[in-house]
Amino acid sequence: MKIALLQIISGPDKGENVARASDGIREAAASGATLIVLPEATSQAFDQGRLDTQAEDLDGPFSVGLRDVADELGVTVVAGMFRPADTNGDLNRVYNTALITGRGVHKGYDKIHTYDVASYKESATVKPGRDLVTFVHEDAVVGLATCFDIRFPEQFKALARLGADLIVVPTSWADGANKLLQWRALTVARALDAGVFIAAAGQARPGGRARAGQASGPTGIGHSVVVAPDGRRVAEAGYEPDIVYAEIDVREVENARATLDVLSWPAG
């Protein structure tokens, strides 16, 4: 199975982001990719205005636009978006959703672990999800996680116990001191924890390499990466917009678990 990670920079306009994503999906499909993963916040970048004003359900124009492209090309697409959730005081909260669409699938995963650290509380505007989500693509079971979820190994182990061979992680990771080091360590650790492939598609770094390492909001650090079950980085991008390709062979998952079956230990 050939996968592609589309490392883009989303903007504030949902319609323009659909067009940008669609162009990348077409390029990836033309190169033979059948599973194409885009970043968290593909529909509207963070720090580009209120999320609730462009939030939509799975029958909205962003979701349907990507479904139409995926169906036309015969591929499966995963992309970050926002859906209406509830009201928290004066704030309309959204779900931070990873849309899965194409090949007869059209559903979403709502990010479980919101970024509530120090003085920043994502849960004030984003309602946490509760349910693990998987889907089948060709010969693989694919699990979903989003950005900050990468810090929670039990979610990845739980997805592996549900049969996941590959876990895709749409991301918009913040830059700053040691943030790239943490990102690279966490993606490898989660592959090793669960004995799975990790395919993490991030927003490219606004300003590119010239601003690398400077503190930023959650607007992207690039370094989309595919990690094998044995911890090898199969493919990795830099800071700039890019498309990362990799071949996934689920037999590597079987081999990794036969060598060291970390999932055989009881959960909890």
In CATH, what number is assigned to the domain containing residue 59?
A: 3.60.110.10
| Residue-level pLDDT at 197 | 98
- The answer to the question of residue 264 being in a domain is no
Give pLDDT tens digits for 174-189. 999 999 999 999 999 9
- The answer to the question of residue 267 being in a domain is no
* pLDDT band at 268; cut points 50, 70, 90: low
- The answer to the question of residue 268 being in a domain is no
- 40 belongs to the catalytic site: yes
Q: Kindly name the residue from 14, 40, 127, 157 that is annotated as catalytic.
A: 40
Q: If you ran DSSP here, which 8-state letter would residue 58 be given?
A: T
Domain limits at 29?
2-259
- The answer to the question of residue 149 being in a domain is yes
Q: Which residues contact 79 (CB under 8 A, 6 or more apart)?
A: 21, 37, 38, 39, 42, 43, 66, 98, 99, 101, 170
Average pLDDT for 16-26:
98
- 111 belongs to the catalytic site: yes
Q: Kindly name the residue from 56, 122, 127, 147 that is annotated as catalytic.
A: 147
- The answer to the question of residue 122 being in a domain is yes
- The answer to the question of residue 265 being in a domain is no
- The answer to the question of residue 23 being in a domain is yes
| Residue-level pLDDT at 217 | 84
Q: List 236's β-bridge partners, or say none.
A: 225
| Residue-level pLDDT at 267 | 59
pTM over 0.95, yes/no: yes
- The answer to the question of residue 64 being in a domain is yes
Give pLDDT tens digits for 97-125. 999 999 999 999 999 999 988 778 899 99
Average pLDDT for 150-159:
97
Alpha carbon of residue 8 to chain centroid: 12
Q: Kindly name the residue from 111, 127, 157, 236 that is annotated as catalytic.
A: 111
| Phi, psi of 244, rounded to the nearest 5 degrees | -105, 130
Query: Does 196 have pLDDT greater than 60?
Result: yes
What is the rounded distance in angstroms from the CA atom of residue 144 to the CA atom of residue 132?
A: 7
Helix (H) or strand (E) holding 15: helix 14-30
Domains of the chain: total:
1
Write the single-letter amino acid at 260: L
